[in-house]
A and B are shown apart, each in its own frame.
Chain A
Amino acid sequence: MHELSVASAILNTALKHCDGRRVTVVNVRVGRLRQVVPSSLEFYFEIVARSTACEGAALELVEIDARLQCNDCERAWSPEIPAFRCPDCGSANVEVSAGEELEIDYIEVKQQEAACTAPR
Chain B
Amino acid sequence: MHRTKVRVVEDALDANNTIARANRDDFDRHGVTVLNLMSAPGAGKTTLLERAIGEPLEQIRVGVLEGDVQGSIDADRLATLHIPVTQLNTGNGFGGECHLDANMVRSALDQIPLDQLDMLIVENVGNLVCPAEFRIGEDARAMVCSLTEGEDKPLKYPLMFRACELVVINKLDLLPHLEVDLDKLLYNIDAVNPGVRTIQCSAKTGLGVDELREWLAELAHRRVRAIA
Give chain A's interface residues, CB within 8 Å of chain B: 1-2, 5-6, 9-10, 12-14, 16-18, 21, 24, 28, 33-35, 81-85, 91-92, 94, 102-113
Does B159 contact A107, Cβ atoms closer than 8 Å?
Answer: no
State the 3 A-B residue pairs at the shortest beta-carbon distance, nearest first: A92-B194, A92-B195, A82-B158
Contact B12 A13 (CB under 8 A): yes
Chain A residue at smallest Cβ distance from B16: A9
Nearest opposing residue in chain B for A5, CB measure? B130
B: residues with CB less than 8 A from A are 1-16, 97-99, 101, 129-130, 133-134, 154-155, 158-159, 162, 190-195
Residues of A within 8 A of B190 (CB): 85, 92
**What are 5 of the A-B contact pairs (CB < 8 Å)?**
A2-B129, A13-B14, A92-B195, A110-B1, A111-B4
Please, how many angstroms separate the alpha-carbon atoms of A12 and B9 in the complex?
A: 14
Residues on B with beta carbons closer than 8 Å to the beta carbon of A33:
158-159
* CA distance in complex: A104, B194 (Å): 30
Q: Pick the residue among B14, B129, B162 that contacts A1 (CB under 8 A).
A: B129
Q: Are B7 and A106 in contact (CB under 8 A)?
A: yes
Instruction: Report yes or no: B129 in contact with A9, Cβ–Cβ below 8 A.
Output: no
Give the CA-CA distance A34 to B159 in the complex, in Å: 7
Measured in the bound complex, the distance between the Cα atoms of B191 and A84 in whole Å is 6
Least CB separation from A94: chain B residue:
B194
Closest to A90 in B: B194
Contact B3 A111 (CB under 8 A): yes
Shortest distance in angstroms between B90's beta carbon and chain A's nearest beta carbon?
A: 11
Given A2, A5, A105, which contacts B8 in the complex, CB threshold below 8 Å?
Answer: A105
Which residues of B lie under 8 Å from residue A1 when comparing CB positions? 98, 129-130
Contact of B12 among A10, A111, A112 (CB under 8 A): A10
Residue ID in chain A nearest B161 by CB atoms: A82
Q: Of A91, A92, A103, A108, which is within 8 A of B5 by CB?
A: A108
Question: Would you give the shortest CB distance from B86 to chain A, in whole angstroms?
Answer: 23
Given the interface pairs A82-B158, A102-B13, A103-B12, the reply to whether A17 lies near B134 with Cβ below 8 Å is no
Partner of B3, one of A81, A103, A109: A109
Q: Tell whether, in the assembled complex, residue A5 and residue B99 are in contact, meaning their CB atoms are under 8 Å apart.
A: yes
In the bound assembly, the distance between CA atoms of A65 and B174 in angstroms comes to 39
CB distance from B38 to the nearest CB of A (A): 13
Q: Separation in Å of the B198 CB from the closest CB of chain A?
A: 13
The answer to whether A102 touches B12 (Cβ under 8 A) is: yes
Chain B contacts for A111, CB-based, 8 A? 1-4
Excluding A2-B130, A5-B97, A81-B155, 11 further A-B contacts by CB distance (< 8 Å) are A1-B129, A5-B99, A13-B12, A82-B154, A82-B158, A91-B194, A92-B190, A103-B11, A103-B12, A105-B8, A113-B1
